[in-house]
Amino acid sequence: MKQVMALLVLSAPLAAFAADDNPDATFFKHAAEAGIAEVDAGQLAQDKANNPAVKDFGAKMVQDHGAVNEKLKALAATKNVTLPTSESVGAMATEAKLKVLSGDTFDKSYIKAQIKAHQQAVGLFKKEAALGQDPDVKAFAASTLPELQMHLKAIKAIAADSGVQIKSASSS
């Protein structure tokens, strides 16, 4: 009996840790941060880009990710999840770099940052759609994924048209 009690006492912190390590909660956090970053970067592109395709893509990011952010907020509210209200530290650093650039240098840096951001977002949403625990959150991720994949395809096409060299990396 003592061994059972000791096991229960020792496993309680592990159960609490497992609850904190909820993949759906992690998804909410990263999706919210990414969405905020997309809107912020899109606004910057609308203001600073030279290339009309980059300006248009920025406007599309503000519109599309703004709408997705609202859907995510509504879903989070139904799940009693508090979302972050700012982008990640990494996204803040990227945005700070973009703010000091101008002209073609801005355009190329924005394009590269968007490819990386959308590759990460596609991976995040694919993972949630496949492995998420909450059916509503999984469905949200699965229904949003095609739009993110279209964004990635579009920014890669802009990169090709602009002569921006991209590293072959992960998902498309």
Domain count, the chain: 1
Which pLDDT does position 21 carry in this prediction?
Answer: 56
Domain with 65 in it: 22-162
Tell me whether residue 1 is in a domain. Answer: no
The continuous run of DSSP H or E covering 67 comes out as: helix 52-78
**17 occurs within a structural domain:** no
Mean pLDDT of the 51-70 span: 97
In a domain, 9, yes or no: no
Which pLDDT does position 168 carry in this prediction?
61
HSE (CB half, 13 Å, CA atoms) of 108?
Answer: 8
Please report whether residue 38 resides in a domain.
Answer: yes
Cβ partners under 8 Å of residue 38, min gap 6: 61, 65, 117, 121
pLDDT at 28 over 70: yes
Percent of the chain predicted with pLDDT > 90 = 81
Asked whether residue 169 is assigned to any structural domain, the reply reads: no
Considering the domain boundaries, does residue 16 fall inside one? no
Q: Would you tell me how many other CB atoms lie within 10 Å of the CB of residue 6?
A: 10
167 against 125, higher pLDDT: 125
- Whether 3 and 57 have beta carbons less than 8 Å apart is answered as no
Helices then strands, each counted (H, E), the chain: 6, 0
In a domain? residue 111: yes
Asked if residues 50 and 104 have their Cβ atoms less than 8 Å apart, the reply is: yes
Q: How far is residue 104's CA from residue 17's CA, in Å, rounded to a whole number?
A: 47
In whole angstroms, how far apart are CA 102 and each of 48, 49, 54, 90, 117? 6, 7, 13, 20, 20
Question: Average pLDDT, stretch 98-112?
Answer: 96
Residue 82 resides in a domain: yes
How many CA atoms lie within 13 Å of 161's alpha carbon, on the beta-carbon side? 12
Distance separating alpha carbons of residues 92 and 114, to the nearest angstrom: 14
Length of the chain measured in residues: 172
pLDDT for 48 equals 96
Residue 101 is part of a domain; what is its CATH number?
1.20.1260.10
Token look-up 């395709």 returns: 53
Separation CA 129–CA 140 (nearest Å): 8
Averaged pLDDT score across all residues of the chain: 87
